[in-house]
């Protein structure tokens, strides 16, 4: 735990004990876990995607339907950042905890597939994924990488190879409902969990922001790792404001050192 204060080290040890005692721990992650991988978040002042663009003008379902070229123009640099990104130590630490049996599932608000790249299983993607694209006409689904790579190279909007209609990334845009299966699965996981670790989420976007309450209301514990305050800091057992890519490897090391 080099470079961490004695107070933080004590909090890590306490958090590790909660993990070792938990029967059904899970993780909820937001954009803050992926910023060390070079993917911008949405709300940080000056750097967040919504600080530079009006969300409803570029990333709404209605805008995609009527002006897909504007959406893809905005989406192009983000798509490149996601395609080029690699998991950072925070993603890897979460995957390590899962492989060792210390996590039931990972609920994520991210679309970047970095949890899966790191080796996590049972990832519940609340806002969709960039791993696939779907045809807006015949609904055929495609693996995204070939289409996105070609789009990044030539700038031509991805189109269905069957019917030539425009392909839409399988991410949730403003005006779209959350994927029902994922939402039901996330709620069930939160209700059954006796420990939730929140990483890199401001807990501002409903309904996902309410999931930790479902754990707390049933007597579960809550650990928050986020550099800004959340509405649940006052309810959390432990709050860390350190960078997730620095802190989570230390937490995982402490949890795993004695094994199950």
Within 10 angstroms of residue 228's Cβ, the number of other Cβ atoms is 13
Q: Which residues pair with 143 in a beta bridge?
A: 132
Alpha carbons 72 and 147: distance in angstroms, whole number: 12
Contact (Cβ atoms closer than 8 angstroms) between residue 173 and residue 60 = yes
Residues tagged active-site = 127
One domain, residues 17 and 71: no
Which residue range(s) make up the domain with 162?
48-84+128-171
One domain, residues 74 and 133: yes
pTM flag (> 0.85): yes
Query: Within the chain, where are the H helices?
Result: 6-21, 49-52, 55-58, 61-66, 68-84, 89-99, 114-118, 144-154, 180-192, 211-216, 244-256
Within 10 angstroms of residue 114's Cβ, the number of other Cβ atoms is 26
What's the number of domains the chain is made of?
A: 2
Please provide residue 106's backbone torsions phi and psi, each rounded to the nearest 5 degrees.
-120, 120
One domain, residues 109 and 5: yes
One domain, residues 239 and 142: no
Could you list the pLDDT tens digit for every one of the 260 residues in the chain?
Answer: 557 899 999 999 999 999 999 999 999 999 999 999 999 875 444 444 444 556 667 888 999 999 999 999 988 988 999 999 999 999 999 999 999 999 999 999 999 999 999 999 999 999 999 999 999 999 999 999 999 999 999 999 999 999 999 999 999 998 899 999 999 999 999 999 999 999 999 999 889 999 999 999 999 999 999 999 999 999 999 999 999 999 999 999 999 986 66
Q: Is the peptide bond between 106 and the residue preceding it cis, with omega within 30 degrees of 0?
A: no
């Amino acid at each position: 735990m080099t470079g961490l204060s004695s107070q933080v080290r004590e909090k890590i040890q306490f958090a590790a004990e909660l993990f070792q005692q938990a029967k059904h721990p899970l993780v909820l992650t937001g954009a803050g876990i992926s910023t060390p991988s070079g993917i911008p978040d949405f709300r940080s002042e000056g750097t967040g995607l919504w600080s530079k663009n009006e969300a409803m003008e570029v990333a709404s379902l209605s805008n995609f339907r009527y002006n897909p070229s504007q959406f893809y123009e905005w989406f192009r640099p983000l798509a490149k950042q996601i395609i080029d990104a690699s998991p950072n130590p925070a993603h890897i630490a979460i995957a390590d905890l899962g492989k060792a049996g210390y996590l039931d599932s990972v609920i994520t608000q991210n679309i970047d597939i970095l949890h899966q790249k790191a080796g996590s299983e049972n990832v519940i993607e609340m806002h969709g994924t960039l791993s696939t694209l779907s045809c807006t006409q015949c609904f055929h689904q495609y693996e995204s990488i070939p289409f996105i790579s070609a789009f990044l190279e030539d700038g031509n909007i991805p189109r269905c190879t069957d019917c030539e209609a425009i392909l839409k990334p399988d991410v949730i845009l403003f005006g779209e409902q959350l994927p029902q299966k994922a939402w039901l699965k996330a709620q069930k996981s939160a209700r059954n969990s006796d420990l939730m670790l929140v990483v890199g989420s401001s807990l501002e976007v409903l309904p996902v922001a309410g999931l930790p309450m479902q754990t707390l209301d049933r007597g579960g514990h809550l650990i928050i790792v986020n550099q800004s305050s959340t509405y649940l800091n006052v309810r959390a057992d432990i709050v860390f404001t350190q960078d997730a890519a620095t802190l989570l490897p230390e937490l995982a090391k402490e949890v795993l050192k004695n094994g199950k």
